[in-house]
A and B are shown apart, each in its own frame.
Chain A
């Protein structure tokens, strides 16, 4: 079976997790994609660490306000009832446990729930930005990542080798192959995305993975409906 990277399925699956009223911070990159797949009947409150509760969709051309950006620096909008605040309040919200979910990209994530996403020594050193606070403070930490690195090695590992962003904080990893809950020092595969199989994932991932007894194999089409 050939592996074809698929970011969209990750975003579609994550978008189905949230319930109305929950406060969610979506990281830069892949996690930002999630916003457009959130079902219209689900009314979540997006937090943006640069100082927004009630982040709205990207504004159309001609509606751009230079003073309203998202945390990636892109033009943004705010929904009715939303608000702005300074960075100390923003991180008070984050560290104070008032954010239900943080969704962020990772370079590596391990079966202990550790993640690495801010530094490749000597090569790429973007910095942690708000990621350390978000992973420490949010109630649920979701790592969103393509299953494999360009080299072919899995980003899900026994132990991260890069400098860590946080330890023991990741609750769920969602890749383009499936959904993994992280607890007890192991990944637990609870859902697998067709055409891949649990056997394929186990064979290609050097980590301890427990396949849940009733682990369903889900199609992309099933994730598109709703």
Chain B
């Protein structure tokens, strides 16, 4: 097995270039790569497009920020593609002020778009969103007289994901609900950087226990902050 390079959070952040599309794993911060997020904030790489379940957390009243919300606060995104920004008041403010373009996508559609990109599909047909604003600009296809939306795959230049454990080859194991979008994003970006809490020798994760096969992972980063 090929050993994957273990790089510093700063080196990981340096691989994200201005204008890149960036997938960030996590669900309201649970299962987000917090260490790499902090390093990207230090770099201040701008004009990124974020693809993520949500925009993290940001309460404008008490100033509490979490997850990818740190990067929204630093105004690194020209566009955010997410299913939910309700827990990030700053993202809503940026949207209403016309400062950041925000595309809201049904959560199941977003997950499947990422999966489709990673699994070589040209798109998929979903009943979700029929009869709503989500239809705008999309093709409706009838299957057995029932309307479906044609949704297209969604890929990215870089994905930063979070797993609980990796072996040195980059096989990943997730824990609890920290799994969420991470295994999907691992398949759908040109460059995949996995932040992990623990790195073990090759062979110490049994073949039956691997959630994300090593071939999807390019670099490993050791987690330094967990929230």
* A residues lining the B interface (CB < 8 Å): 48-52, 65-73, 76, 78, 84-88, 90-91, 94-95, 114, 118-119, 122, 124-133, 136-137, 163-168
**Is the CB–CB distance between A129 and B83 below 8 Å?**
yes
B37 to chain A, nearest CB (A): 15
Find residues 179-207 in chain B having any chain A CB closer than 8 Å to their own CB. Answer: 179-184
A52, A67, A164 pick with most chain B CB within 10 angstroms? A67
Instruction: Give the number of A-B contacts (CB < 8 Å).
Output: 150
**Is the CB–CB distance between B133 and A87 below 8 Å?**
no
A71 to chain B, nearest CB (A): 8
**Is the CB–CB distance between B131 and A68 below 8 Å?**
no
A128 to chain B, nearest CB (A): 5
Residues from chain A with a CB closer than 8 A to the CB of B104 are: 118-119, 125, 127-128
Residues from chain A with a CB closer than 8 A to the CB of B174 are: 84, 86
B86 at the interface (CB under 8 A from A): yes
**Is the CB–CB distance between B30 and A88 below 8 Å?**
no
Q: Which residue of B lies closest to A73 (CB)?
A: B28
**Is the CB–CB distance between B133 and A163 below 8 Å?**
yes
Find residues 62-98 in chain B having any chain A CB closer than 8 Å to their own CB. Answer: 82-87, 92, 95-96
Residues from chain A with a CB closer than 8 A to the CB of B108 are: 87, 90-91, 94-95, 130, 132-133, 137
B224 to chain A, nearest CB (A): 15
Expressed in whole angstroms, the Cα–Cα distance for A137 and B126 within the complex equals 10
A50 to chain B, nearest CB (A): 5
**Is the CB–CB distance between A136 and B86 below 8 Å?**
no
Residues from chain A with a CB closer than 8 A to the CB of B175 are: 67
A195 to chain B, nearest CB (A): 35
Task: Using A88-B112, A130-B106 as known contacts, list a sample of 6 further A-B pairs with CB atoms less than 8 Å apart, ordered by residue number in A.
Answer: A49-B107, A66-B30, A66-B227, A69-B177, A126-B87, A167-B130
**Is the CB–CB distance between A125 and B127 below 8 Å?**
no
**Partner pick for B111 among A90, A125, A128, A167, CB 8 A cutoff:** A90
Expressed in whole angstroms, the Cα–Cα distance for A90 and B28 within the complex equals 16
- The 8 A-B pairs of least Cβ separation, nearest first, read A126-B86, A91-B108, A167-B131, A67-B176, A133-B108, A73-B28, A87-B111, A129-B84
B48 to chain A, nearest CB (A): 19
Residues from chain B with a CB closer than 8 A to the CB of A165 are: 132
Expressed in whole angstroms, the Cα–Cα distance for A48 and B176 within the complex equals 12
A132 to chain B, nearest CB (A): 4
**Is the CB–CB distance between B176 and A68 below 8 Å?**
yes
**Is the CB–CB distance between B177 and A164 below 8 Å?**
no
**Is the CB–CB distance between A133 and B107 below 8 Å?**
yes
**Partner pick for B84 among A85, A88, A128, CB 8 A cutoff:** A128
**Partner pick for B184 among A87, A94, A166, CB 8 A cutoff:** A87
**Is the CB–CB distance between A132 and B177 below 8 Å?**
no
Expressed in whole angstroms, the Cα–Cα distance for A50 and B28 within the complex equals 10
Q: Which residue of A lies closest to B53 (CB)?
A: A87
B27, B31, B85, B102 pick with most chain A CB within 10 angstroms? B27
A122, A127, A128 pick with most chain B CB within 10 angstroms? A127
B92, B107, B126, B133 pick with most chain A CB within 10 angstroms? B107
**Is the CB–CB distance between A95 and B57 below 8 Å?**
no
A48-B177, A51-B179, A87-B181 given; A125·B92 CB < 8 A: yes
**Is the CB–CB distance between A130 and B181 below 8 Å?**
no
Residues from chain B with a CB closer than 8 A to the CB of A67 are: 30-31, 164, 175-178
**Is the CB–CB distance between B181 and A73 below 8 Å?**
no
**Is the CB–CB distance between A128 and B177 below 8 Å?**
no
A220 to chain B, nearest CB (A): 31
**Is the CB–CB distance between A132 and B134 below 8 Å?**
yes
